Amino acid sequence: MPASRPVSRVLGLGLLSRPVSRVLGLGLLSRPVSRVLGLGLLLCDLLACAPTIRTPLKQALPSVTGDSAVTAGPCLGEPARIDLGGPAVSGALADLDGNGVEDLALAVTGSGGGAAVFLLHDGQGGLKQSMRVPIPQTPTALAAGDFNDDGLDDLAIGAADPPALHVLLARGRGEFIAGATPLRAAPAALWVAKLDGNDSVDLLALDQGGKAVRALLGDGHGELTEGKRSGLPVAAQPAALTLVDADRDRILDLAVLGDSRREASITLVRGDGRGNFSKTIQRRVVGSGARALLGAPLAGDDGHDLLALVDSAGPGAGSPVAAVLVNNGPLEYSAVGYFVPGPLGDATLADLDLDGDLDLVTAAADGSAVPVVPGDGRGGFGQARSRGTAGLGTAVVVLDGARPTVLSFGPGSQQLHAFAVTRCGG
């Protein structure tokens, strides 16, 4: 999620109340985009003419507000372990059996070939492997969304050798109809979103190598058509790219966290409402050593905020930092930084302790621990707590329910680790 963006998110634009589940809203107010005719203007759009802002990051103590409640926060118990028969390269949350409870689907590789592995959730944190669907190619990414508009969660699985997209359309009760379409490049990650101005669910695919994205536009009947290639301003890891309406025009834009000249910066690339991304509209330096980038309503508003995880506040500064950028209006951000454990691999946001505020859940880059940082709902974060155990993956996702469960998996592990969430000191 990430693992090549280990978990694809289906996010809600402007209505997002949690980091996982439901669809990124698209531009209902479509507007014409000017054609770039001159080479100089084209290079300007792609590379150099957007303003660069060196974001001052105040190193905050446990919480911006000093709220003592944020310091209690969630803790993780000892994990349950489930053997997967191979490392999971990607995963997604979906209601696989139609009972109204989110389950987990994983894309797993192994000596016997790839497979989609389904694990059903009992709603109380328990998981049980239900079926294994063989994939004739090497899986690279997995996402969940309603691609044929029937109210059921379908699956899309990117694959290599040769590049293809496998679509599993749900029929209910855990049954699926499979189909596949060839692609120009194997996806390293997939995001579910509405990209082209209609009500059909689409996909955004990151090419392996991280240098470009491609829209896979849905027709509402389960078919997805590959769109144009949009080059990225910097090569991006799957964990370091997200979709956000940065300029608040109701059209999704790309936010890319990458390294250039020893600086980690967030580059915002405008979407045109047709699945294309080309014009760089802003670049914000947030530290050094890019790790992961998340978009979510961190300050309790309508969800245009960003959180960047970097190795340090600057070259040679040392301690890893979570840089929180609270969106105050179109392309307007205020920023504050928090020291976090590191180096980190993947990250996600979820309300672990059910207090209404999003908490930061991360995975150590070496697979040694899952650090959790409680949030205060106003852009502030408290003291991190880590649960270490051997053999963890570098991808992390949170399974919602009456008892939220933190799930760890990834290329470095052949097991799924499931951590029950408790309240610290409770």
Q: Which residue has the higher pLDDT, 8 or 158?
A: 158
Q: Which residue has the higher pLDDT, 57 or 9?
A: 57
Proportion of the chain in helix, strand, coil states, percent, rounded to 5: 5, 50, 45
Could you give the dihedral angle defined by the CA atoms of residues 420, 188, 43 and 251, in that order, rounded to the nearest 10 degrees? Answer: -50
Alpha-carbon distance 168 to 341, whole Å?
38
Q: Which residue has the higher pLDDT, 278 or 214?
A: 214
| pLDDT above 80: residue 131 | yes
By DSSP bridging, strand 277-296 and strand 52-54 are parallel
3-state DSSP call for residue 45?
Answer: helix
Q: Residue 391 — left, alpha, or beta (φ > 0 → left; ψ -120 to 50 → alpha)?
A: left
Q: Which residue has the higher pLDDT, 34 or 183?
A: 183
What is the separation of C-alpha 329 from the centre of its chain, rounded to a whole number of angstroms? Answer: 23
User: Residue 380: its pLDDT value, please?
Assistant: 85
Domain ranges of the chain: 235-340
pLDDT > 90: what percent of the chain? 63
Rounded to the nearest integer, the mean pLDDT of the chain is 83
What does the pLDDT look like over 318-344, one tens digit per residue?
789 999 999 999 999 988 888 888 889
Q: Which residue has the higher pLDDT, 7 or 131?
A: 131
User: Residue 50: its pLDDT value, please?
Assistant: 56
User: Residue 121: its pLDDT value, please?
Assistant: 94
| pLDDT above 80: residue 4 | no
Fold of 235-340: Lipocalin (2.40.128)
3-state DSSP call for residue 174?
Answer: coil
| 182 bridge partner residues | 164
| 47 bridge partner residues | none
User: Residue 43: its pLDDT value, please?
Assistant: 35
Q: Which residue has the higher pLDDT, 403 or 47?
A: 403
Count the neighbouring beta carbons within 10 Å of the beta carbon of residue 72. 16
| pLDDT above 50: residue 204 | yes
What does the pLDDT look like over 152-173, one tens digit per residue?
999 999 999 999 999 999 998 8
Q: Give the mean pLDDT of 207-233.
A: 95
Alpha-carbon distance 192 to 83, whole Å?
28
pLDDT band of 315, cuts 50, 70, 90? confident
User: Residue 51: its pLDDT value, please?
Assistant: 61
Mean pLDDT lowest for which of 39-48, 93-102, 275-284?
A: 39-48
The model's pTM is: 0.84
Q: Are 55 and 280 in contact (CB under 8 A)?
A: no
What does the pLDDT look like over 35-82, one tens digit per residue?
232 333 333 433 445 566 665 555 443 333 334 444 567 999 999 999
Amino acid at 19: P
User: Residue 412: its pLDDT value, please?
Assistant: 86
User: Residue 19: its pLDDT value, please?
Assistant: 32
| pLDDT above 90: residue 16 | no
User: Residue 54: its pLDDT value, please?
Assistant: 61
pLDDT > 70: what percent of the chain? 82
Count the neighbouring beta carbons within 10 Å of the beta carbon of residue 78. 10
Q: Tell me the C-alpha to C-alpha distance, in Å, between residue 314 and each of 262, 319, 330.
A: 8, 9, 27
